[in-house]
Amino acid sequence: MKSIYGKLILGFLVSMLFSFSIAGYFSLRKNSDELGRLAEEELEMSSQHIADLLSLIDDEDLSRVLTGYSDTSEVNFFIECNGNKEIYGKVSGYELTYEQCELLKRNIGKTLIFQDSSVRKIARSYLLDGKSYIIYVQKDVGKREMIFIDSALIALFCMLVAGSITFLVIADIIVKPISRLNKATNELSKGNYRVRVNYAGNDEIARLNRSFNLMAQQLAKQEETRQQFISDVSHEFQTPLTAIQGFATILKNEQISDEQRKKYADIIVFHSKRLSTLSKNMLQLTVLDGEDVKLELSEFSLIEQLSRVIETQNNLALNKDIEIEFHVPKNDILIEADEARLEQVWINLVNNAIKYTNEHGVVTVEVKKSSKEIEVSIQDTGVGMSKEAISHIFERFYRQDKSRSVEGNGLGLSIVKRIIDLHKGVIDVVSVEDGGSQFTVKLPQERSFHLSEKLILTKKDKDNQ
């Protein structure tokens, strides 16, 4: 049985038959006991009635009266008196044993009860006018049982018909939304991410439909991001490649002067460096995004690290006559972190501050330490960012300056954010257009990230490996 519809109906029929058989069996047993008890009461009354007739009716009328009684009351009986047996109606399957007869005769008024399938029987002894009688009465209760079974079967039939119709309607209500969901899932698997299913209420199926819609929505978003990513990557690669291709073609021309040749070769080198940085950044992001990314933790001086970074970026600042101020607390600050990756964070942030600050500006790097965290802020007096730009700067390939007048590829801050996240830190941005920007990185002082991040590898672990 392939469809859920068929399974539901089969389940319904099986459960109906099963429960009805159990209910039928027990009620039939109870009913049969009850019928037997009633029959025995009736038989006792009949035997008493026959005894009354025996003592009241004259001998010549007795046989006629007793035959009439047997016919009208559907009771079959015989009377035994001093070895004479008179049978009325159809008495079946009876033989009182000699011992039973003697027992009854000895104990006048005693009743023996017998049961032979659906026939109930009693035998009782009486002393009437000095003569001992045994009155044996029997009645068939099978007919009554059949009436009960018949009405039970009619009830079962009606329940099956009415129940099946009701169940078909209910099954339809349950199965239809599942079929609809199945159709939608097929559509989704074919790549139609716009497919949605309607739902009302809050039952399991409605919740399933809601989850499906949410999943389809997220898949659509992921697909959009994927396409945007491919388009961004090809765009970022295309620009330097076109430049390299163009200038390489010019270089093939033997007519150009040595000076021009050198200039074009420099441009090619510049663009190939750009390509190299781009692919390095992409590779770095892929590694950082990986499930098994590991931080190589060690303890080092944060002040020394920042001084080193400022030193390396100083030439760039000097070219634009930008002053770099470095404010540090009196005591050195030791930090446990992934040294190389954290250095990458400071390089990207300080480099951005210089890149996006006009000549004669100031870049301020400040380090603060509290009991809970270490705070590093990099502030500049540069071009700043719009509110819209601030909400996107951590996205891959996002650049506020669409004309790309400043060198970059829009991956630096994505890398920064990922590294800070891996260190369980936070990064905040405050910026005003044409008023400068301030990036603040907060790293936890406690090594909580160390304990909770199962993928982090300490220097010691590394040495032991």
Binding site for ligand ADP (CB under 6 A): 348, 352-353, 356, 380, 382-385, 389, 393, 398-401, 408-414, 437
Question: What are the percentages of helix, strand and coil residues in the chain, rounded to 5?
Answer: 55, 20, 25
Residue 114 identity (one-letter amino acid)? F
Beta carbons of 300 and 339 less than 8 angstroms apart: yes
Which residue from 345, 341, 327, 370 is spatially nearest to 427, judged by alpha carbons? 345
d(CA 365, CA 312): 14
Beta carbons of 379 and 429 less than 8 angstroms apart: no
Neighbours of 186 (CB within 10 A): 11
Beta carbons of 248 and 269 less than 8 angstroms apart: no
Which residue from 140, 137, 139 is spatially nearest to 79, judged by alpha carbons? 137
Report helix, strand or coil for 436.
strand
Q: Name which of 401 and 446 has its Cβ closer to ligand ADP.
A: 401
**Least CB distance to ligand ADP at residue 426 (A):** 17
Q: Name which of 139 and 396 has its Cβ closer to ligand ADP.
A: 396
Beta carbons of 346 and 305 less than 8 angstroms apart: yes
Q: Name which of 46 and 431 has its Cβ closer to ligand ADP.
A: 431
**Least CB distance to ligand ADP at residue 242 (A):** 19
Q: Name which of 96 and 427 has its Cβ closer to ligand ADP.
A: 427
Q: Name which of 47 and 437 has its Cβ closer to ligand ADP.
A: 437
The DSSP letter of residue 192 is -
**Least CB distance to ligand ADP at residue 442 (A):** 18
Q: From its phi and psi, is residue 150 left (phi > 0), alpha (psi between -120 and 50) or beta?
A: alpha
**Least CB distance to ligand ADP at residue 404 (A):** 8
Strand arrangement of the beta sheet that strand 457-458 belongs to: 334-338, 296-301, 457-458
* CB neighbour list of residue 117: distance below 8 Å, 6 or more residues apart: 142
The token duo for 83 is: 């070895």
Which residue from 319, 439, 318 is spatially nearest to 378, judged by alpha carbons? 439
Q: Name which of 79 and 383 has its Cβ closer to ligand ADP.
A: 383
Q: Name which of 370 and 403 has its Cβ closer to ligand ADP.
A: 403
The DSSP letter of residue 73 is H
Q: Name which of 268 and 411 has its Cβ closer to ligand ADP.
A: 411
Q: How far are the Cα atoms of 104, 197, 205, 218, 239 from residue 213, in angstroms, in the given order? A: 86, 7, 12, 9, 39
The token duo for 167 is: 């169940």
Q: Name which of 51 and 349 has its Cβ closer to ligand ADP.
A: 349
In degrees rounded to 5, what are phi and psi of residue 140? -90, 115
Beta strand pairing status for 362-369 and 323-327?
A: parallel
Token pair 């004479």 is found at 84
**Least CB distance to ligand ADP at residue 307 (A):** 20
Q: Name which of 182 and 358 has its Cβ closer to ligand ADP.
A: 358
Q: Name which of 125 and 414 has its Cβ closer to ligand ADP.
A: 414
Q: Which residue's C-beta sits nearest to ligand ADP?
A: 408
